[in-house]
Structure 1
Amino acid sequence: MILAPLVDALADVPPDIPRVLTGLAEWLACVVYVLLRRRRWPWSRFVVLAVAALAVQVGVQVGAGRLPLGLWTVGMAAAVAAMYGFIVSAAKVSARDAGYFTARALVLAELVAALHWQMHVFFFVPEGRDGSVWSTGFFVLVYAAAFAGAYVAEARHFRSRQSLDVTSGELASTVAIALVTFFMSNISFLNANTPFSGRLGPEISYIRTLVDLCGFVALYAQQGQRLQQRARAEVRAVDEMLRRQHEQYLQSKRSIEVVNRKYHDLKHQIAVIRAEDDDDRRRSYLDDLDASISGYARQADTGNGVLDVVLTTKSLECAERGITLTYVVDGAALDFVSTMDLAALFGNALDNAIDGAAAVPATDQRLVKVAVYARDRFVLLSFENYFTGELRTEDGDIVTRRADRTRHGYGLKSIRHTAEKYDGSMTVNTEGGWFVLRILLPVPQDAPARRPSRPRPRAAVEPTP
């Protein structure tokens, strides 16, 4: 007698969404997020891949529908895996970013499928028009409008050329939201005897659609918050760049003052040399004089005007701070890099290397080495400096050892961003007490082919005695 109302209520449960429609919704949701990123393949191959992915997605859903209820989670896991495989193979995204998009696509697919099916059951099933031309047209209209609207809405938050950079914590929270949304929206079909289950047909459909909508809104708001945090980080980065420019101005001012002091010292030293009658002493004075100005007289000549300015400025800074800087640079190999990007790459890399070398207690180990050369349509940039201590990492990224992270720690991120802008890569490792930063840049196809570069004469800047 107690179970009689429950049995009567379950008899009113509406039919579940056909598996074919569920698979189609999941595939379309994946297509939405793939189109928001850069594609891995040209359109012809992408279409073939998408058609194959549609067949796999629908096939997995149909196969999962034939499994017993106890294996329901296995079927859903297979469907999610198929969605992940489609996204990671069709779009230029990392494994972590693909997981982020898969979670969002799952919630979007559930929302559209539930919304359409709720209205379909309400308008067409009672009238006996299920499967009619009108119901088919209604299905096309709802799916097209829903997924097109989702694409327009999500396009505000995702730019194809903008890196996603999803952290492990953000991925975990997104997956958690997607799983909770999916579970709560389907709990009435799994077990109607829970405090969160619906027992009437319209109630079950309404709960399902409402929960999916809440999940999609939560994920949409999460991405908006991520963008706001990134914008604040970019503002801090701009502030850091302005601060560095001010420091560069102060450094240039100090360099000018050093040169002026050298000029006044030289006048007195030349006077002493002129008055010296002993040839041996005169030669000794001249040798000392040559050593004292060696760090200031050498102008970098790399074949690239931007690098000449940067290396000359950094050479003066190294001489003042007691650091030995050596470089073998084929500047012409980097002609395809813009002036601003080239200055940012070398400025940040040399700033980090000089700061690391300056912290070494032993003066004879304060060394910085730079190398740039081209080989097989690639250009390799290498920056090495002796360092002490241990590297600190968070989420796989090296973080600054300084206490104020709001003003420091953007150098390597800026270098990585600039390298990826040219479809290149950046690697960092430690080798025998050396901190090694390497940047690999592919030469654009439209750039003229160059013979393997011959390194220019090795330049050395010794610290000023």
Structure 2
Amino acid sequence: MIPDSLPDIPRVLTGLAQWCACLVYLFVLVPRRGSRRRMVVAGALALPALVGMQLLAGEMPLVLWPLGMAASVVLMFAFVWLSTGASASDAGYVTARTLVLAEFVASLHWQLHCFFFAAAPAPTTPLQVSFVVLAYGVSFGGVHLVERRDFPQNAPLNVRARELLLSLAIAVATFVMSNLSFVSTTTPFSGRLGPEIFYIRTLVDLAGFVALYSQQSVRMETRALAELSAIDQVLRSQHEQYLQSKRSIDAVNRTYHDLKHQIAVIRAEGDPLRKRAYLDELETSIRDHESHYHTGNGVLDVILTSKDSLCAERGIELTAVADGAALGFMSVMDITALFGNALDNAIEATDAVEDPDKRLIRLALFVQSDLVMIVVENYFPGTLHVEHGELTTTKPDRQRHGYGLKSIRHTAEKYGGSMTFGVEDGWFRLRILVPMLEGHSQAASTASAGGADRT
């Protein structure tokens, strides 16, 4: 039976719980954000610092005890911040979670300890120490398995001020309510019996952790929906560009064929040298507007023709060797997403190159071992801006830009493929690999083997 007067959690265990709670989130974040070596060094310094601060807080008068806990929170923040290299808002957001988690696990273990070991003042026997290891290992390990699914991979948290304030408010409210009975038993929210106080603390800490977990789940869901919406907008924009280009090219082609007949009639009426020269010049200028790509895929022909016209306006040379028949299994929107975004990014990057001999874009599309290989290259003398494995936009409005490559990756993965990029010998190379659907491989290999033809 648990007596009414129970010993409080040993300060060493509280400091250990805070250290373990930090590790739970660091093992989620550090492999994607920073160096494990930095985490090991910071962890080696944080453990004695947190335990020492708890021991010092235990020696303080009760009125100064909140200051000791505040100092522990600062140490936890420093541990997270130094280990991850994250922003202050991201580190503060994680620290709020570590505080509540540490309080919950420490309270849960101590409540069970007092029940099974008759309120022993501290775990001293091998069995009691083993129980500490078991309780902390199961609790923190289980939380780690749950939490790692709700944190973004290869990306910062990007916690906003409102989200940070909410998490801090939840953490502070949880801490105050769970420890209120230890400060005063005369408030309407305080317990008066030992077992009751322990139960209130554990339950309040659990509620606080659940609230923070729900907040992160909502954040991730909202972020995923926003990203999918942005990618969908990019896809639709590329599709609209394709439709507009197709209409324009069709209209030009009709005009071209009509003018060819008109020119033939005019040419038959007479043969003045000046008229002949004028008509030859007119015919040449009109011929330039005809759709001159014949890859075996009408959608790709339109995209290459429109992008080639844009390149010509900007003094950029676009060369393409493409077996368009290999794309027969892909939808119109997906083809426009892959090639439209890839070429738009290449054109934008090449437009900043001043040397006219290096204003080049090369595109290759071919089939190899039932795999569609797409390679887009452009000269790139600068440095890639990469954050956590993702190429980031250099535009100031990062919320509305930078989704071109994400759209390409999303489309490739839709077909079980992948996308990679990098800089080699001063050239930026975007590689897209997509497995061909069964039944299209043979058709593609027997179609146009010569690549893209220009007429």
Normalising by structure 1, report the TM-score. Answer: 0.63
Cα deviation for residue 80 of structure 1 reads 2.1
Q: Is the 8 A contact 1:19 1:65 kept in 2?
A: yes
| 2:403 maps to which of 383, 397, 414 | 414
The residue aligned with 1:32 is 24
Aligned residue in 2 for 1:173: 166
Paired residue secondary structure (2:314): strand
Once the two structures are TM-superposed, the CA of residue 30 in structure 1 deviates from its matched residue by 1.1
Tell me the distance in 1 between the aligned counterparts of 2:108 and 2:393.
56
Q: Is the 8 A contact 2:113 2:119 kept in 1?
A: no
Q: Does 1:150 align with 2:139?
A: no
CA–CA separation in structure 1 for the residues paired with 2:232 and 2:44: 48
Give CA deviations for 1:313-358 in whole Å, capped at 9, x if unaligned.
3455x69xxxx941557999xxxxxx999747446769999xxxxx
1:49 to 2:42 alignment: yes
Aligned to 2:175: 182
Quick check: 2:170–2:208 contact (8 Å CA) kept in 1? Answer: yes
Residues 256-267 of structure 1 mapped to structure 2, 5 A cutoff: 256-267=249-260
Structure 1 residue 229 corresponds to structure 2 residue 204:
no
Mapped partners of 1:233, 1:35: distance in 2 = 27
- Alpha-carbon distance change, 295 to 181 in structure 1, aligned in 2, over 3 angstroms: farther
Does the C-alpha gap of structure 1 residues 264 and 452 become closer, same or farther in structure 2, counting only changes over 3 Å? closer
Aligned partners of 1:79, 1:417: CA distance in 2, in Å?
40
Cα displacement (A) at 1:443 = 7.4
Instruction: Indicate the percent of aligned positions where both proteins have the same amino acid.
Output: 43
Moved more, 102-111 or 70-79: 70-79
Find 1:374's aligned residue among 380, 386, 409.
Answer: 380
Paired positions, count: 369
Structure 2 residue ranges without an equivalent (≥5): 294-299, 321-334, 350-358, 362-377, 411-419, 429-455
AA at the equivalent of 1:450: D
Select the residue among 21, 32, 40 that pairs with 2:13. 21
- Which residues of 2 match residues 308-457 of structure 1 at below 5 A? 312-314=305-307, 316=309, 325-326=313-314, 328=316, 343=339, 345-346=341-342, 373-375=379-381, 378=384, 398=399, 412-415=401-404, 444=422, 449-450=424-425
Could you say what the CA RMSD is over the residues aligned between the two structures, in angstroms? 4.7
Letter in 1 for 2:81: V
Query: Quick check: 1:341–1:418 contact (8 Å CA) kept in 2?
Result: yes
Please show how residues 233-272 of structure 1 align to structure 2 within 5 Å.
233=226, 236-237=229-230, 239-240=232-233, 243-244=236-237, 246-268=239-261, 270-271=263-264, 272=266
CA distance in 2, matches of 1:219, 1:101: 10
Sort the Cα spacing of 1:224 and 1:289 in 2 relative to 1 into closer, same or farther, 3 A. Answer: same
SS of 2:380 mapped into structure 1: strand
Give, in whole Å, the separation in 2 of the partners of 1:19 and 1:205. 16
1:197-236, aligned counterparts within 5 Å? 197-233=190-226, 236=229
3-state SS of the aligned residue for 1:204? Answer: helix
Question: 1:54-69 alignment to 2 at 5 Å?
Answer: 54-69=47-62
Are the structure 2 counterparts of residues 345 and 163 from structure 1 closer, same or farther at C-alpha, using a change threshold of 3 Å? farther
TM-score normalised to structure 2 length: 0.64
Q: In structure 2, what is the Cα distance between the partners aligned to 1:382 and 1:352?
A: 14
Which one of 124, 127, 134 corresponds to residue 134 of structure 1?
Answer: 127
> Which residue does 1:109 correspond to in 2?
102
What is the CA–CA distance in structure 2 between the aligned matches of 1:143 and 1:382, rounded to whole Å?
Answer: 39
- Report the alpha carbon displacement of residue 265 of structure 1 after superposing the two structures with TM: 3.9
Matched residue of 1:156: which SS?
A: helix
Unaligned runs of 5+ in 1: 1-10, 300-306, 333-338, 354-368, 385-390, 400-411, 422-441, 454-465
